[in-house]
Amino acid sequence: MADGFCSELASMEPMVASVIQPVIQLDHQATTPCDPAVVEAMAPWWTAQWANPASRSHRPGLLAAAAVTRARERIAAALAVEPEAVVFTSGATEANNLALKGLAEAELERGGSRRHLICLSTEHRAVLDPLRYLARHGFELTELAVGSDGLLDLAQLEACLRPDTLLVSVMAANNEIGVLQPLAEIAALCRQRGITLHSDGAQALGHIPLQPAALGLDLLSASAHKLYGPKGIGLLVVRPGLRLAPQLHGGGQEHGLRAGTLPVPLIVGMAAALELALEDQQARAQRLGALRDQLWQGLQALGGVQRNGAAAPRLPHNLNVCISGVEGSALQRRLRDTLAVSSGSACSAGEPSHVLQALGLSRPQAAASLRFGLGRHTTSTEIAAAIAAVTAAVQELRRGGPGGA
């Protein structure tokens, strides 16, 4: 069904497609719009200033290199780390691969004997899949269960730590249910044992305070398109002194850790986006938290609606609910022309969410769940309209329309 819908859209002229696009956009955890100020900051680096920053033999190349240096410094300052700690990647997926596979391979190369890896069962596929890959190549992986509220139990983590544990990877904020994990406490457990701690911060950076060194993280992944920056750029923060094996070999860029011509416009855009996101972070969190509460109250009036994940601590702009008495795909179909929401991660290819199932939901319950991701421009009027749209759809399905459960 979704495939048919996609090819139908793909065959339309962009203008026509834009007319029928959903009017209420509440899928900001899949991605965010690039802020116009960010687009403006990037503009000259696509056209007038197009030189390769590795071309050090001429002025345009040196200017491009200076723009990268400046952007790296601004990002480092925002994260309170040294500029050398910032490695640019194509996004959080690549940053996670570099962190996890790079660490494991470096351990093999130095003849170390740590082979045990730990992550949460609710991690994004961009963490789970590289770790499962490593588990097929000589490492042992523990995927830790979380509570029905989506939170890690620190005592359970501590019980899993072993002398040969190399790495713990715990996401800062969950992309589906928005819960925040206790990173500082996890870091304390890891530090005592010489275990490297990685965190996937793709959903957290720019939205909540997140300073890797202060938290005691060794590795932090992030992505610009989750914080009103461009798609196709992300970063990995690497604690000074920590060795990783490069995963992309070539021209030796990024201190030999990530080869490939640096995308100057995207790097400049990521720096601008991060600064903008931090500028209004607190005010945005307060405003969106209030709108999220308005949404939650409105949806509860339907009855048979349960929030997925702990009420706190969580991202202010996330709400994930399970709606009883409806069939998930029917609900999605009914909503898709008026409301852009999702039933799980944008990367989960239509499968009922592994995150929601880890919380104890059945497959049909997971499928009948909706993730709302509010954004910088979301208004109270849109929230009211979203409540009305979901209410109408659910009531109709519960009355026995096709897809009522």
Ligand X SMILES: Cc1ncc(COP(=O)(O)O)c(C=O)c1O
Catalytic residues: 347
Min dist CB 125 to ligand X, Å, is 8
Q: Quick one: 203 or 353, whose CB is closer to ligand X? A: 203
**Token pair listed for 23:** 């009017």
The answer to whether 124 contacts ligand X (rule: CB under 6 A) is yes
Give, in degrees to the nearest 5, the angle at Cα 339 between 334 and 340. Answer: 110
Q: Tell me which of 99, 128, 171, 186 binds ligand X, using CB under 6 A.
A: 171
Q: Quick one: 71 or 127, whose CB is closer to ligand X? A: 127
Min dist CB 94 to ligand X, Å, is 7
Q: Which of residues 225-244 bind ligand X (CB under 6 A)?
A: 234
Q: Tell me which of 9, 188, 346, 392 binds ligand X, using CB under 6 A.
A: 346
The answer to whether 200 contacts ligand X (rule: CB under 6 A) is yes
Contact 223, 195 (CB under 8 A): no
Cα separation, 200 vs 198, in Å, equals: 7
Q: Tell me which of 26, 51, 126, 268 binds ligand X, using CB under 6 A.
A: 126
Place of tokens 């109270």: 380
The answer to whether 382 contacts ligand X (rule: CB under 6 A) is no
Q: Quick one: 233 or 299, whose CB is closer to ligand X? A: 233
Binding to ligand X by CB under 6 A, coded x per residue (else -) over 55-94, reads: ------------------------------------xxx-
Q: Tell me which of 347, 351, 363, 377 binds ligand X, using CB under 6 A.
A: 347
Q: Tell me which of 202, 330, 340, 394 binds ligand X, using CB under 6 A.
A: 202
Of 200-208, 253-261, 298-306, 378-386, the segment contacting ligand X by CB under 6 A is: 200-208
Min dist CB 277 to ligand X, Å, is 15
State the residues that interact with ligand X by CB under 6 A.
91-93, 124, 126, 171, 175, 200, 202-203, 223, 234, 346-347
